[in-house]
Structure 1
C-alpha cells in the first residue's frame, strides 16, 4: 500500500498542474490573456503535432535508460523542477502586449510546457506496468492513484478561482501567476516522493538488447489489443478533455454562476475519486475488464444524455443527483482505461519478444493528448464559429453549443468507445496464460544462456 500511495502522490502532482490546464487554460487564454477563441483552438491542434514527436521519443529514451535506480525514476526526479517553472510561465498573462505578441507567447510557453510535462509523465505512467506483473494488482494500483488524482482534481478545481481572486487582489493576471506558483511548488515534493519510493520490479527479458525506434513501432503494429486500446483512448480523451474544457463556460455563461463550477467539481470529481477504490473488487468479480468497460461506458453515456434535458437552472436537485451518479460511474471508466494499458505490454512481449512499457505508455499518452487536442480545439473553434465574445452575455446559439458540447457529444463518444472494446479479446484467462508462457520462455532462455557459458 505504501508503494501504491507513493505512485498516487505522483498523480496528485500531475493534477496540481494538469487539472488547471484542462479545466481553465482555454478560459485563461480567452478571458485573461485576451486571445481569440479560434486562435486558441488552432494552438490545441498544432501542439498535438508537436506531441506526435516528443511522446514516442521520451517513451523510447526512457525504455533505453539504464541507471542504478531504474529506467523511469530518474526522469521523474530530475524533470519536476523545470516542469514547475514552465507551468508558472504558461499562466503569466501579458494582456497589454500586442495580439501577435500574446499569441506567440501563448504558443511558445504552452508547447514547451507540454514537452516538459511529457518528460515527467511518460516515465511516471510506465511505472504502472513495471511495479507489478499482476493484472488485478494493476487495477488496484490504478484505483489508488486515481483516488489521489480525482481528489486533487476536485480540490484544485474548487480552489483555483477563489485563489486567483484572493491572491490577485483585483488583478486576474497576478492571481493566476501566484496561484500557479503555489501549485507548481507543491508538485515538486510530491513528484520526488513518488520517484524515490516506487520500485521497478518487472524487468525486460535478459536477452533483450537496446531496441531501435523502428523496431518498437513495428512491434506496436503487431499488438491488436494495444491498437484497440489506443483507438479507445483517443475517443475517451476527446470526450473527457473536450467536456472538461466546457465546464467553466457552462457555469459562467449557461448557468450564469461561476460558483457552481466549484460545487460541480467537488461533487462529480470527488465522487469519481471515491468510486475508483471499488473498481478492482468489481472487476475481479466480472473477470473481464473489456466487458465491464463497455457496460460502464454505456451507463455513463445514458446519464450524460439525460442531463442535457435537465439543466441546472431549471431542475437543480435532479441535476445534482444525476451528476453524483455520473461521477461514480466515471471512476470506473477512468480506472479501467488506465489498468488496461499495461496489460498490452505482456501481449506485446509474448508476441514479439520485445518489452516496451515506456513506449506503450507514450503511445497511450499521445492517443489521449490527440483526443484532448480534438476536444479542446473543437471547443475553441465551435465557440468562435458560434460568435463567442469574452466577458459578455452570450447569444442563444452560443449557449446551445455549450450545452451540446457538455452533454450530447460526450455521450455519443462514450458509445463509440464501448463499440470499439467489443473487439478487445485480452481477458483474464488469456492474460494469465500469456504471463505464464513469458515466464517459462525467459527461464528457458536463461538456462540456455547458462548452458552456453
Structure 2
C-alpha cells in the first residue's frame, strides 16, 4: 500500500519551487519576448515603412495569419497532451522547436528588396505564417509547462510572476534598443537583418536554459491507456463545458487586445502625434517599467485582498491613466503620466492570467475526469493570440482605411490623427470595462484548494486499488 505522505512527496504538489527553477522557467518568456515583442512592435512598421507594403494589406496578412495561428494552437495543445518522451510532454517540444523559432524570426525581417511587389507580398504571407507556426510549436508547450511543474496555485502565481517579469523586461528593452541597433548596423533591410540574427541567438540560448533546468512533476489522476485516449472532439467538448476556461478565454482575449494596441500603436503615436519615432522607446519604458514594479507588488496585494479585487483595482487604475491622456493628447508630459498609470494598472492581470488559466486545468480534470494540460492552455493561448491578432491587424486595417501614408509623418490625412488617438487612448478604456464585467463571474479561487484535495483523494484511491490488484495477482 502507498502511504499518503509518500504520495504527496512523489507528486511534488505542494513542494516549493526553487528560485533557480523559477528563473530558468521565466527565461523561456524572455526568449519569447525577443520574438513576440519584436514582431508585435515592429513587423507592421517594417513592412509599411521599410519594405513599402500598404498598411491595410499587411494588416490583413497579420490578422489572418494570427487566426490560422490560433487554430494551430488547439492542434498543438492536443499534440502536447499526446506526447510521450523521456524529456516529458512539454519540455520535449521546447527542445525541438527552439532553433526553428529563432530562424523564423530572422526570416520575418529579411524581406527581399529586389523582387516585384507581388513576390514580396507572397514572401510576407509565407514567412509570417511560418513564424507563427514556429511560435506556436514553442510557446504552447512552454506555457503548459507551468501547470506541469506544480499544482499549487500560489506557486503557479509565483511562476507566472517570474515569467511576466522576464517577458515585460523584453517589452522594456526591445523597443528601446531595436531602432538604434538597426541604425548602428547600417539601417535599411541589412540593419534589420543583422539585429534579428542577434535576437535569434539570444532566443535560442535562453530557451535551452529553460529546457535543461526545469522539471515536469504533475501527473494526471487517471492515466489513459493507448486504446482509450480521449479524442480531440471529446476533449474540445470538455473544454467548452469548463465555464472558468470560457471566462478566462474572454478575459485573456480582451487583455491581450489591450497589450497589442498599446505596443502596436506606440510607434505611430510617437511618430505622428508626438512628432518623433524616437519617443517610442520612452513610451514603452514609461508603460513597462511601472508594469514590472507592479508585478513585484501584485503577490502582496493578492495575499491581502485576493486575485479578483487586485485585478479589478488595477484595471480601474488603467482606465484613469488612459482618461488623463484625453486632456492633452499631444503633450509628452501628460502622455507620460498616463502611461505610468496604465503600466501599474495592467500588472495584476498580466501577473495572474496564465496562473488562473492553469487553475482551470485542475477544474476541468475535477469536473470531467480527464486532464488535458496542453489543450486547455492552448485554448487560452488561442485567445491571447486572437487578441493580439485583432489588435495588430486592426491597427493596420483602420490606418489603411484612414489613408495612412507610410514613411511620412507630415502628409497624413487629418482622420489618421484621430484614428491613432482613438486606438491608443479610448480603446483600452472600453476593453478594460469589458474585462471588469467578466471578472464578476469568476470565483474559482474560492474553492480551487478543495478541488486539489479532491483530486489527491482520487489519486490515492486509484493507487490503493492498483496496489490491491497487484497483490491479488501475485
Q: What is the TM-score when the length of structure 1 is the normalising length? A: 0.96
**Distance between the aligned counterparts of 2:381 and 2:361, measured in 1?**
15
Kept after mapping to 2: 8 A contact 1:130/1:201? yes
Kept after mapping to 1: 8 A contact 2:254/2:387? yes
**Distance between the aligned counterparts of 1:138 and 1:221, measured in 2?**
23
Instruction: Note the residue ranges of structure 2 that are not aligned, 5 or more in a row.
Output: 1-18
Query: Which of the numbers 26, 32, 45 marks the counterpart of 2:44?
Result: 26
Which residue is 2:143 aligned to? 125
List structure 1 segments (4+ residues) > 4 angstroms apart after TM superposition. none
Query: Which of the numbers 256, 264, 278 marks the counterpart of 1:259?
Result: 278
**Distance between the aligned counterparts of 1:55 and 1:160, measured in 2?**
28
Query: Which of the numbers 363, 368, 378 marks the counterpart of 1:352?
Result: 368
* Structure 1, 94-103 or 63-72: larger mean CA deviation: 94-103
Which residue is 2:6 aligned to? none
Map residues 42-441 of structure 1 onto 2, 5 A cutoff: 42-167=60-185, 169=186, 171-209=187-225, 210-287=229-306, 289-311=307-329, 313-314=330-331, 316-392=332-408, 393=410, 394-427=412-445, 429-441=446-458
Kept after mapping to 1: 8 A contact 2:221/2:458? no
Instruction: Note the residue ranges of structure 1 that are not aligned, 5 or more in a row.
Output: none
The CA deviation at 1:122 is 0.4
**Distance between the aligned counterparts of 1:432 and 1:309, measured in 2?**
46
Kept after mapping to 2: 8 A contact 1:70/1:200? yes
Kept after mapping to 2: 8 A contact 1:86/1:112? yes
CA 1:322 to 1:42, structure 2 compared with 1: closer, same or farther past 3 Å? closer
Question: Could you report, residue by residue, the CA deviation over 1:240-288 in whole angstroms, capped at 9, with x for unpaired residues?
Answer: 113321111110111111221111222211221232122122112113x
**Distance between the aligned counterparts of 2:425 and 2:296, measured in 1?**
26
Question: What is the root-mean-square deviation of aligned Cα atoms in Å?
Answer: 1.4
| Largest Rg, 1 or 2 | 2
Question: Could you report, residue by residue, the CA deviation over 1:324-378 in whole angstroms, capped at 9, with x for unpaired residues?
Answer: 2221222222112222110101100100011111111111111111111211111
The CA deviation at 1:401 is 0.6
Q: What is the TM-score when the length of structure 2 is the normalising length? A: 0.92
**Distance between the aligned counterparts of 2:29 and 2:223, measured in 1?**
33
**Distance between the aligned counterparts of 1:249 and 1:322, measured in 2?**
17
* Structure 1, 72-81 or 236-245: larger mean CA deviation: 236-245
